[in-house]
Chains A and B, each alone.
Chain A
Amino acid sequence: METNTTHIIVCIKQVPDTADVKINPETNTLIREGVQSMINPFDMYAIEEALRLKEKLGGTTTAITMGPPQAESALREAVAMGIDEAVLVSDRAFAGSDTLATSYTLASAIKKLNPFTIILCGKQASDGDTAQVGPGISTHLDIPQVTYVRKIDSIQGPKAVVERMTEEGFDIVETPLPCLLTVVKEINEPRLPSLKGKMRAKSVKIRLLNAAGLDCEEERLGLKGSPTQVVKIFSPERRKGGEIFQGLTEDACGKIADIIQSYMP
């Protein structure tokens, strides 16, 4: 690389469109037919932020994902939006990874890439909803983290100042670089892929990293490296629609007011 060594890495995940995921009430299993794959919605904000940082600071951007071979399409989507490089971390040995094994694998893969300035992740993935892999990666890499970032105020020299969302508002946090940030929706509005990007996405060479290509301990990968086990999957109790009043009547409003009153904590 030339003089500008700013390197932003974005970790993304291909997820099923959760709106489509249902359980078959008879067999109690996931219905997979017709479920579309997409980039985890939160990762779109991470991709956009990486592009904005590059526009400001120069340098390069890399998207990395761990998943089955078909996760490649998520990487191509990221390239279509403007990401420079794409890395697919894929191996049968990674199958069945929980958040500990996943973050270990991704951290091991990131060590194989060029030195980075910032790693960006979505705050959580929409399928697992754990929000654990981002902090896991920063811990494995022993770098500082700031989670739930809603704004990057400044990046100057070896430091960044960011805003971290809290339940009550936000904290302004200063962190040394390199660091890992997980971002929330409020941070930006993701762009649409450009025509040029789409063309590039078709031809871009995706770098493949498999288990043998990582300096890692085999017993920390996949199922073996995963302390948690899923023992049961079931449908949540379905809510049933209740009484619906048609049209505004004092009577209907009065009944609802009574119900609310009786339910007040």
Chain B
Amino acid sequence: MSLHIHNEKCVGCSLCVKACPFGALVMNDKKAQVKVEMCTLCGACVEACKFQALTIKREKVAPADTSAKNVWVFCEQKRGTVQSVSYELLGKGRELADKLGCELCGLLLGHDIKDKAQDIITRGADTVYVVDHPHLKNFADDAYTSVLIRLIKKHKPEIILCGATSIGRSLISRVAVKIHTGLTADCTGLDIDPHKKILLQTRPAFGGNIMATIITPHHRPQMATVRHKVMKEASCDTLRSGRVVIEEFDEDVYASRTKILDIIEEVTSTVNIAEADVIVSGGRGMRGAENFKLLEDLAQVLNGAVGSSRAAVDSGWMPYSHQVGQTGKTVCPKIYIACGISGQIQHLVGMQSSDMIIAVNNDPSAPIFQVATVGIVGDVFEVVPMLTKMLKDKLNK
């Protein structure tokens, strides 16, 4: 596979150089030249060239397995509760399955969870594959991987979606490698190409500075992890009916080399930031751990969680699990209230896809105001308590 430049057709206009997202083309002696090590054969230059001077020669690859069918959603459960990200995936999965004219199937692994299969059907699944075993009660890399591989080999799905959670990303990465297929991480957009009927997977890269659409043309299943809180949850239709298939495997399939000794939940202010619809976040401008109480009060009124910038975590004011941003968590709440956060790019990449951003900062030139839906230039220690009081009055009515 390679990119060919037909020198006789190249007029040296350098449209291709401008079009190349990867900087793989240069002009040399008024002719385009490709830096092979940087070229990803994305085809942007071929499209841009008005003189047909570039072609991509692709070696014949075995066509994708056409017997692969159906869209699968890995329904993550913790402590026997199906996680909300699964419902988001079922919503999107239903849409994709309808476009392909195939079934939507849920995968449910756990212990004593058979009764949860109906929830997954009410959220749009046609079939739910349930694997129930004591060793699957909590997530275990080995056992979950082995079970998924068995299921995939048996039923040959066309697409598998999984939440881009800590469990999802660990598990699905292993599964994709084992069955030797493509996997696209942390997608924020999914669609079906109307002509080729393949999955178009769109995701942010370079800290959200660019977006890329990725396909897996020749391998099945096409696999993607999907960012939490981006897709809409499937609505609940209690009248829906579907098929529940209980799958069982030999005992050795459930074996794990690692062992969970203990599970500790330590989220301080009730809601975890990945799940919260409202996040009240504080930065260096909060001046001390004790002042985060103001944010907790506001969060409580809004039924939200408290987040933090890196500066506040590094100062020891908040635990790391609350950190939003490049080295912390990426969040996507409906409302993000940034208090005393200047808005360094490393913070913005973790929260800029929030529906609404409200900024409170005493520095009018703080970059956070450039992304804020509304902002107030003022003292957080005055603004936040006033907001809390006003909202308390409003929402209690």
From B41-49, B86-94, B122-130, B244-252, give the one contacting chain A: B41-49
User: How many Å lie between the Cα of A174 and that of B173 in the bound state?
Assistant: 21
B371 in the interface, Cβ–Cβ < 8 Å? yes
Q: Do B355 and A231 touch across chains, with their CB atoms under 8 A apart?
A: no
What per-residue 1/0 map shows which CB atoms of B131-157 lie under 8 Å from chain A?
000000010011001000000000000
| Residue of B41, B180, B327 touching A229 (CB-CB under 8 A) | B41
CB distance from B226 to the nearest CB of A (A): 13
Chain A neighbourhood of B277, CB < 8 A: 265
B387 in the interface, Cβ–Cβ < 8 Å? yes
Q: Do A171 and B352 touch across chains, with their CB atoms under 8 A apart?
A: no
Chain A neighbourhood of B211, CB < 8 A: 233-236
B241 in the interface, Cβ–Cβ < 8 Å? no
What per-residue 1/0 map shows which CB atoms of B9-27 lie under 8 Å from chain A?
0000000001111110000
B339 in the interface, Cβ–Cβ < 8 Å? no
Q: Do B377 and A246 touch across chains, with their CB atoms under 8 A apart?
A: yes
CB distance from B18 to the nearest CB of A (A): 4
A197 in the interface, Cβ–Cβ < 8 Å? no
Residue of A nearest to B171 (CB): A135
Chain B neighbourhood of A184, CB < 8 A: 320
CB distance from B138 to the nearest CB of A (A): 8
- Contact of A174 with B258 at beta-carbon distance under 8 Å, contacts A98-B182, A239-B357 already known: yes
Chain A neighbourhood of B205, CB < 8 A: 127-129
Q: Do A145 and B170 touch across chains, with their CB atoms under 8 A apart?
A: yes
User: How many Å lie between the Cα of A28 and that of B261 in the bound state?
Assistant: 50
A/B pair count, beta carbons within 8 Å: 310
Chain A neighbourhood of B386, CB < 8 A: 248, 250, 253
User: How many Å lie between the Cα of A42 and that of B325 in the bound state?
Assistant: 13
From B66-74, B95-103, B264-272, B288-296, give the one contacting chain A: B264-272
User: How many Å lie between the Cα of A150 and that of B321 in the bound state?
Assistant: 10
A199 in the interface, Cβ–Cβ < 8 Å? no
User: How many Å lie between the Cα of A264 and that of B395 in the bound state?
Assistant: 10
Chain A neighbourhood of B178, CB < 8 A: 139
Q: Do A233 and B42 touch across chains, with their CB atoms under 8 A apart?
A: yes
Q: Do A21 and B387 touch across chains, with their CB atoms under 8 A apart?
A: no
Q: Do A231 and B326 touch across chains, with their CB atoms under 8 A apart?
A: no
Residue of B nearest to A225 (CB): B180
- Contact of A171 with B215 at beta-carbon distance under 8 Å, contacts A228-B182, A241-B371 already known: no
What per-residue 1/0 map shows which CB atoms of A107-148 lie under 8 Å from chain B?
000000000000000000011111110111011100011111
- Contact of A261 with B166 at beta-carbon distance under 8 Å, contacts A185-B320, A234-B210 already known: no
Q: Do B169 and A18 touch across chains, with their CB atoms under 8 A apart?
A: no
Give residues of chain A (209-250) contacting chain B, Cβ–Cβ below 8 Å.
223-224, 226-236, 239, 241-248, 250
- Contact of A41 with B326 at beta-carbon distance under 8 Å, contacts A241-B370, A263-B355 already known: yes
Give residues of chain B (156-181) contacting chain A, Cβ–Cβ below 8 Å.
165-167, 169-170, 173-174, 176-178, 180-181
User: How many Å lie between the Cα of A92 and that of B211 in the bound state?
Assistant: 26
Q: Do A232 and B275 touch across chains, with their CB atoms under 8 A apart?
A: no
B5 in the interface, Cβ–Cβ < 8 Å? no
User: How many Å lie between the Cα of A103 and that of B372 in the bound state?
Assistant: 39
B302 in the interface, Cβ–Cβ < 8 Å? yes
Chain B neighbourhood of A127, CB < 8 A: 205-207
CB distance from B292 to the nearest CB of A (A): 18
Residue of B nearest to A143 (CB): B257
Q: Do A168 and B265 touch across chains, with their CB atoms under 8 A apart?
A: yes
- Contact of A147 with B166 at beta-carbon distance under 8 Å, contacts A243-B374, A244-B376, A246-B377 already known: yes
CB distance from B290 to the nearest CB of A (A): 21
What per-residue 1/0 map shows which CB atoms of B201-241 lie under 8 Å from chain A?
00011111111111111110000000000000000000000
Q: Do B321 and A165 touch across chains, with their CB atoms under 8 A apart?
A: yes
Give residues of chain B (281-327) contacting chain A, Cβ–Cβ below 8 Å.
302, 320-321, 323, 326-327
CB distance from A149 to the nearest CB of B (A): 11
B113 in the interface, Cβ–Cβ < 8 Å? no
User: How many Å lie between the Cα of A131 and that of B391 in the bound state?
Assistant: 40
A152 in the interface, Cβ–Cβ < 8 Å? no
User: How many Å lie between the Cα of A3 and that of B375 in the bound state?
Assistant: 63
| Residue of A223, A224, A248 touching B379 (CB-CB under 8 A) | A248
Residue of B nearest to A22 (CB): B209
User: How many Å lie between the Cα of A179 and that of B323 in the bound state?
Assistant: 28
User: How many Å lie between the Cα of A132 and that of B171 in the bound state?
Assistant: 10
B334 in the interface, Cβ–Cβ < 8 Å? yes
Q: Do B327 and A42 touch across chains, with their CB atoms under 8 A apart?
A: yes
Give residues of chain A (249-265) contacting chain B, Cβ–Cβ below 8 Å.
250, 252-261, 263-265
| Residue of B23, B204, B261, B371 touching A239 (CB-CB under 8 A) | B371
Chain B neighbourhood of A1, CB < 8 A: none
B195 in the interface, Cβ–Cβ < 8 Å? no
Give residues of chain B (339-397) contacting chain A, Cβ–Cβ below 8 Å.
344-346, 349, 352, 355-358, 364, 369-379, 382-383, 386-387, 390-391, 394-395
Chain B neighbourhood of A250, CB < 8 A: 386
- Apart from A96-B41, A233-B211, what 6 extra A-B contacts exist at CB < 8 Å? A95-B37, A127-B207, A167-B165, A239-B352, A252-B378, A259-B374
Going nearest first, the 9 A-B pairs with the smallest beta carbon separation are A227-B182, A135-B173, A18-B207, A130-B185, A169-B266, A228-B182, A248-B378, A144-B257, A227-B219
